[in-house]
Amino acid sequence: MDKHYKKEGKYSYFEAGEGTPIVILHGLMGGLSNFDAVAQYFPTKGYKVVIPDLPIYTQSILKTNVKSFAKYVKDFITFKGFDKVILLGNSLGGHIALYHTKLYPEKVAGLVITGSSGLYESAMGDSYPKRGDYEYIKKKAEDVFYDPKIATPELIDEVYATVNDRIKLIKTLTIAKSAIRHNMAKDLPKMTVETCIIWGKNDAVTPPNVAEEFDSLLPNSTLYWIDKCGHAAMMEHPQEFNKILEQWLVEKNL
């Protein structure tokens, strides 16, 4: 990914390929590398894949909320000179993509959400800030996936470091509250953009009924399931995820 990583102005982002831009929004604990498979595949299919680093832990606490992140994405899209984009978001990134689409529908040609927040927030549990407890954090990280082996030691270390950083922990909890405050149930029926919902059948963070609710509330959505799959389908079943997404893009002529 490194050779495609750019820093321009206040933005840092990955960019590869030429064609219709697919702008990818990562989640709270997720980095750009979570989308390696998407980033390698779609530039070979006539798309430009762009993954901005979201300022989840770097903005002031007043701007640490879903709405501010959505505005940041809009400013980034404008900065890049894109007319319309396909937005793809996982977890919190899905929520930001949805909120961006609500505020700036003219910028979004298509929307893809996977394991998205926005309707149901699995509170991280009252016991979430067990900051020093590595085994607890390891278990939490493994619970994100159907196959716990996907939670590599590097990934667990990263999550552990985040929750043991006091400022990051405060911002994580601020974002969790913001996600609950920015519930999208009333907005979704008015959002007519073509939407692809790809969900793990075994997602324990945003369970399958959340995907069904998104599908019933969004007027132009298609729901796809991936079996033996948790909260991050694009990491756990990358080939199947790419195949579903490509098929949907072709069907919708995007």
All domains in the chain, ordered by first residue: 2-252 (3.40.50.1820)
Q: What six digits make up the tokens of 147? A: 């196959």
Q: What is the pLDDT of residue 124?
A: 45
Residue 100 backbone dihedrals phi, psi, to 5 degrees: -60, -40
Average pLDDT over residues 160-187: 90
- Calpha distance 100→66 (Å, rounded): 9
Confidence bin at 34 (pLDDT 50/70/90): confident
Q: What confidence tens digit (pLDDT) does each residue in 115-163 have?
A: 999 998 654 444 455 566 899 889 888 999 999 999 999 989 988 898 8
Which are the contacts of 154, defined by CB distance < 8 A and separation ≥ 6? none
Q: What is the pLDDT of residue 130?
A: 59
Q: What is the pLDDT of residue 127?
A: 45
Question: Is the backbone of residue 91 left (phi > 0), alpha (psi -120 to 50) or beta?
Answer: left
Q: What confidence tens digit (pLDDT) does each residue in 187-200 have?
A: 999 999 999 999 99
Which residue from 44, 120, 64, 116 is spatially nearest to 87, judged by alpha carbons? 116
CB 38 within 8 A of CB 241: yes
